[in-house]
Structure 1
Amino acid sequence: MSTADVIVIGGGIAGVSAAARIADHARVVVLETEAQPGYHATGRSAAIFIRNYGNATLRALNAASAPFLEDPGEMAEGSLLSPRGEMLIAQDDELDALEEYAAGATGLERLTAAQAVELVPILRPEKIAAAAIERDAQDIDVDRLLQAFARRLKALGGEIVTGAEVQEILYESTAWRVETQAGTWTAPVLINAAGAWADKVAALAGVPPLGLQPMRRSAALLPAPEGYEIAHWPLFASASERWYAKPDAGKLLVSPADEDPVEPHDAWADDMVLAEGLYRYEQAVTVPVTRMEHSWAGLRTFAPDRTPVVGFDPMAEGFFWLAGQGGYGVQTAPAMADLAAALCLRQTPDLPPETVAALAPVRFRTL
C-alpha cells in the first residue's frame, strides 16, 4: 500500500493538469485505467480554443485559461495556440441561435453571405441568412498541453499510474483507500476526474452521484475539397450546432455535432448519426461528400446545468469533484487546474467568488 496527500482518479487533461498544480505543495498520484493518459475525451477533442464558447461561467474559465495557453512559460516551448478562427453561419431558422450566441460575446464580427463565402469558398451563399466570425478562435495543441502538465507533475515527484482500473474505494478514519489492478493507495483527498465515469466512481466511493450525463460526439475525416487550399480556412459551423467543419492536417474534419446520451464506454461513431450529420453539412456546401477516410467518437460529459463541477462534496469528507466539463474541458483545463489546486490546498482561488460558487458541487446537494 502506498500513501499520498492527494489521489486523482482519471488521467485526462483535467486530472493531470490539476495534479501538476497540486504537486507544488503535496504528494500526488494519478490513477488511469487505460494504458496511456488522455485516451478518451482528451485525445478526441476538436482541439479549438473559442473564447465565447459556453455560458457565462465557462467564458470566465476560457478567459482565465487564455494566458497560459498563449504562453505556458517554462512548461512548454512557445504558444500552445495557433491561428484558426471560428465562423458561424445561420439559415433563416437559425437567426435566433446566432443572436443568442452573440449575446455577451466579445470580438465577434458580423459578416455578409459574400464575406463568409470569401473565407470558405465551398459554402452556398443562398443558404446563409447571417454569419459571424470570431477571428481570435485558435487551434490548441492538445498533446503538447497534456505532456506539459505530465512533465511538470513528474518533475515535482508526482506519479501517473496507468492500467490502474479502480476496483474498490473506501473511506477509513481520515483517508481514502483506493484499490486498483496496479496496487492500493491511500490519501486524505480523493479527486474524481474520471470524465464519463465520474458518477460511477462516486457510487463506488459511496458518494451520491450528481446526474452527470455522457453524450456522444461523432466526427469524420474527409479529403480536402479538390482544387481548394483549406489550411487557412476557419472552423465553420451551423449556428444551431447542426454540424461543424474544421481543417485538420490537410483534411477536413466534419462532425454532426451530435449529443446523444449514452452510458460510459469507449465510444465509436454511429453510422446513421454520422450519415445524417454529413447530409446536413452537404446542404450547406457545393462539394458533395464522396468518401470518408476515418471516423470516431468521444464522450462529452455534462452536469445537469451544463456547467462543470469543481470542489469538495459537502456530503463526503475529502471527496473532490473535477468533472462535467462537457465540450469545454481542454480549453478550460488551465483555469480549472488552478482552481482545483487552490481549493485542495485551502488557498484563495484567483477566480471571482461568483465563478467559484457556480462551479461548486454543493449546488446539487440538499443539506
Structure 2
Amino acid sequence: MSVFDPIYDVVIVGAGMAGASLAAALGSNARVLVLEAEAAPGYHATGRSAAFWSETYGGPDIQPLTTASGPLLEAGGHLAPLGSLHIGRAEDGAAIDAFLAAFADSAVVLDRVDPAAFIPGLRSDWVLGVQEPSCAYIDVAALHAGSIATARRAGAVFVTDAAFQDATRADSIWTIATQAGTARARILVNAAGAWADSVAIRAGARPLGLQAYRRTMVQLRTNPGAPDTLPHVADIAGRFYFKPEPGGRLWLSPHDETPTDPCDAAPEEIDVAIAIDQFEQAVDWQVAAVERRWAGLRTFAPDRLPVYGFGRDVPGFFWAAGQGGFGIQTAPAAALLAAALLLGSNPDPVVAGIDADRYAPGRFT
C-alpha cells in the first residue's frame, strides 16, 4: 500500500522545524503525513540557523514562546551555556533604555554592565552594555532530528521530494497534489516557510502578506581567536551580532534583512564586506580568514509575529508560518500551542498561560 492511500487526519506541508515539531506535538492524537519539497528536511531556514536561544530575540510578543520553550529544550539536552551581551555607543542610550523597559515586566534577567569586562579588545567608544545571562547555544540539528524521530515513533509519515502543487477541498477532505503523489486529509497545515503564501494561494486560501528576507552569516578565523568565555554579542542598534564557535572561530552576521522572493538563498559579497566592517568597528581583532559564508531566509508576517491557527476563509486550512528568525528557539512551545489549536484540545500546561489570539491568522482579516 502506498503512503498516499490512507485519508490522513493531518497533512503538513513543510518538514522544517515548524512542520516537524508540530508533527511531534500531535503525536498519536492524529494520523499525520508530512510533505517536504526538498530531498531532506530542514534544507532552508532550519539548516541555516544562527543557533542560539535568546529570550529577548524577537521582542516582548515572542518572549513568552521562547521562555516556555527553554525548559523543554534543556530537558532534551539541546541547550548549552553562552550568555548574551547587548552593546552600544553613548548615542545608543535611548535604545538601551527602551530595550530594558520592553522586558521590565517579564521574568527575563537583564543587567547593565561594562561591556569591556566581557569582550577583550572592545573599542573604547562601546561604553554601554546589557547582559542577558540566560542566552544559550541551541543544537538545531539534534532538535530537528529529535522532532522527526518523535513524530515517526507516533506514526507520522515523512515524504521528501514531494513539492506541493495544489490542493482542493470537497466533502470535508483535502486532495493535495504533490510531485511525489496525491494525498488526502481532513486538515491541511501550511508550514511551508517562505513559500507559505504560495501554498495558501494554490489551496484557495487568502495569503497573509508574508515576506521573506535574506540573512547573511559568515564564519571567521580571527587573531586573536575568540575566547571560550566570549558571549553572544549584539549591537543594540541592530547592525551586527557575533558569537563564538568551537576552535576559536566566530559566527558573524550584519543583521541584514533584504526582501527576496522564496529561493535557495545565497550570500552577497557586499553583505559579507559590511559584516566584517561592522565587526572591525567594534573590536580591534584582525580577521585572518573568512572560512565559510551562507545565507538563509527569515519570513515575517506584516506585524512580525508568527501565525498559528485555522484561517477564516477556507475550512480545514491551518497556518504554522511567519516564524521570522525565532522559529527554532520557540519551536517546542509553539508546537504545543499549535497542536492544541489544531486538535481543539486544552493546551499543555507549559503554554496554557500564553495568549494564542495574538498569533491567530484572523488578525489580518
Which TM class, normalised by the smaller chain length? over 0.9
Shift of 1:173: 2.0
Shift of 1:339: 1.0
| 1:53-91 deviation per Cα after TM superposition (whole angstroms, max 9, x unaligned) | 22322111112111211113xxxxxx2100001101101
In 2, the alpha carbon distance for the partners of 1:135 and 1:82 equals 12
Following superposition of structure 1 onto structure 2, how do residues 328-343 of structure 1 map, counting pairs within 5 Å? 328-343=326-341
Change (3 A) 1:278 1:7: same
Calculate the TM-score normalised by the size of structure 2: 0.94
Match of 1:76 in 2: none
Match of 2:70 in 1: 66
Aligned residues of 1:212 and 1:324 also touching (Cα < 8 A)? yes
SS in 1 for 2:12: strand
In 2, the alpha carbon distance for the partners of 1:211 and 1:151 equals 33
Aligned residues of 2:212 and 2:300 also touching (Cα < 8 A)? yes
In 2, the alpha carbon distance for the partners of 1:240 and 1:179 equals 45
Gaps of 5+ in 1: 73-78
In 1, the alpha carbon distance for the partners of 2:257 and 2:314 equals 31
Aligned residues of 2:211 and 2:299 also touching (Cα < 8 A)? yes
SS in 2 for 1:316: coil
Shift of 1:290: 4.0
Shift of 1:180: 0.9
Following superposition of structure 1 onto structure 2, how do residues 124-143 of structure 1 map, counting pairs within 5 Å? 124=123, 126-143=124-141
2:235 is the counterpart of 1:238: yes
Aligned residues of 2:65 and 2:330 also touching (Cα < 8 A)? yes
**How many residues are treated as equivalent by the alignment?**
354
Aligned residues of 1:57 and 1:355 also touching (Cα < 8 A)? no
Aligned residues of 2:222 and 2:288 also touching (Cα < 8 A)? no
In 1, the alpha carbon distance for the partners of 2:226 and 2:240 equals 21
In 2, the alpha carbon distance for the partners of 1:176 and 1:230 equals 54
| 1:126-158 deviation per Cα after TM superposition (whole angstroms, max 9, x unaligned) | 221311111110001111111111111111111
Shift of 1:232: 2.5
Match of 1:349 in 2: 347
Shift of 1:289: 2.6
SS in 2 for 1:321: strand
Aligned residues of 1:84 and 1:137 also touching (Cα < 8 A)? yes
Aligned partner letter, 2:8 = A
Match of 1:219 in 2: 217
Shift of 1:229: 5.2
In 2, the alpha carbon distance for the partners of 1:327 and 1:57 equals 14
Calculate the TM-score normalised by the size of structure 1: 0.93
Q: Which of the residues 141, 144, 148 maps onto 2:142?
A: 144
Q: Which of the residues 52, 55, 68 maps onto 2:56?
A: 52
Change (3 A) 1:353 1:170: farther
Q: Which of the residues 268, 271, 294 maps onto 1:270?
A: 268
2:15 is the counterpart of 1:11: yes
Shift of 1:213: 0.6
| Aligned-residue identity in percent | 43
Instruction: State the superposition RMSD in angstroms.
Output: 1.4
2:119 is the counterpart of 1:120: yes
SS in 1 for 2:255: coil
SS in 2 for 1:295: strand
Match of 2:198 in 1: 200
In 2, the alpha carbon distance for the partners of 1:361 and 1:353 equals 19
Shift of 1:284: 0.9
In 2, the alpha carbon distance for the partners of 1:212 and 1:26 equals 28
Shift of 1:343: 1.1
Match of 1:363 in 2: 363
In 2, the alpha carbon distance for the partners of 1:83 and 1:225 equals 24
Aligned partner letter, 2:355 = T
Shift of 1:20: 1.1
Aligned partner letter, 1:69 = L
| 1:279-332 deviation per Cα after TM superposition (whole angstroms, max 9, x unaligned) | 111111101334311100000101111110000001110000000000100000
Following superposition of structure 1 onto structure 2, how do residues 283-322 of structure 1 map, counting pairs within 5 Å? 283-322=281-320
Shift of 1:225: 2.7
| 1:172-223 deviation per Cα after TM superposition (whole angstroms, max 9, x unaligned) | 2211111111111110101100001100110111111101110110011111
Match of 1:27 in 2: 31
Aligned residues of 2:167 and 2:177 also touching (Cα < 8 A)? yes
2:246 is the counterpart of 1:249: yes
- Farther off after superposition, 24-33 or 229-238: 229-238
In 2, the alpha carbon distance for the partners of 1:225 and 1:333 equals 36
Gaps of 5+ in 2: none
Shift of 1:24: 2.1
